[in-house]
Chains A and B, each alone.
Chain A
């Protein structure tokens, strides 16, 4: 036989749960924004190399091409800045954190706007030019930092509990 029981203070409990979620999601959003900035900075750095001019690259025998392929940079996917079009068209952003069906959904992204058609050829290569996937490379370079940032959301959440800021 089912027993009935009364939960005393359920309104406060519900409010506290709600406060916890708000505080947690706010922290996650802050960290997503930080992640976006870190990714954008790394991508910008990886596609802004100015070590050699076009003339010098030609003199070196076009190191990215079939004629004389050789690795002249570390990391290998470093890209020289020519017109600056790719740097000017870095697209980045975040999607606000939410909890759906018990799962946390949040994201930060950075890439190159589709309008820069030749970016795909730089990333994936052509039959005559070696690929330089600076997007995957940038993400790998920052993976450790991004993990540390996301850990922070779980450690430093502060919630409003009875009018007091409480650190979890």
Chain B
């Protein structure tokens, strides 16, 4: 993924939007990562990660438009751990992110992207990692748009 690709720009746009939502930032602060935590060293929680789905077999060009699916994950430490959170906290954060992103489209000159469509296409399951005590909730969003 190059810095000027549609994938990179739409990831940037999602991060920008989420950073404006109080019920998101009150939990994750600025920890909204543009990659999956498994590919990042020293991840701090709670956090959100944005991961572009592999595009094999996907039609990505339609009159200059690109359609891609993004996996947006919510990672919270269990409330049994020091400084941890509850599932309710995680769901509040997810609901706020969903409200901000679903059907939120438009031009953004500062990022250089025109998002024509952004829709939540799936959510869940809720997963718990026994070894790390991390609660994980995943969601998928489909976006269609063009670079400006």
Binding site for B on A (CB under 8 A): 64-66, 69, 74-77, 120-121, 124-131, 133, 136-137, 140-144
Contact = CB atoms under 8 A, between A and B. Distances in A.
Nearest to B138: A124
B129 A131 contact: no
Contacts of B127: 120-121, 124, 126
B36 interface: yes
A127 B56 contact: no
Given A124-B136, A127-B43, A66 B54 contact: no
B interface, how many residues as a size bin? Answer: 20 to 34
A127 B53 contact: no
A123 to B, nearest CB: 9
B82 interface: no
B51 interface: yes
A125 B36 contact: yes
Interface in B46-77: 51, 53-54, 56-58, 69, 71, 73, 75
Contacts of B69: 136
A155 B109 CA distance: 48
B57 A120 contact: no
B136 A127 contact: yes
A128 B56 CA distance: 24
5 contacts: A66-B38, A126-B38, A127-B129, A136-B69, A141-B57
A126 B56 contact: no
Contacts of A144: 57
B56 A137 contact: yes
Contacts of B39: 66, 69, 130
A127 B132 contact: yes
B93 to A, nearest CB: 16
B83 interface: no
A144 B127 CA distance: 32
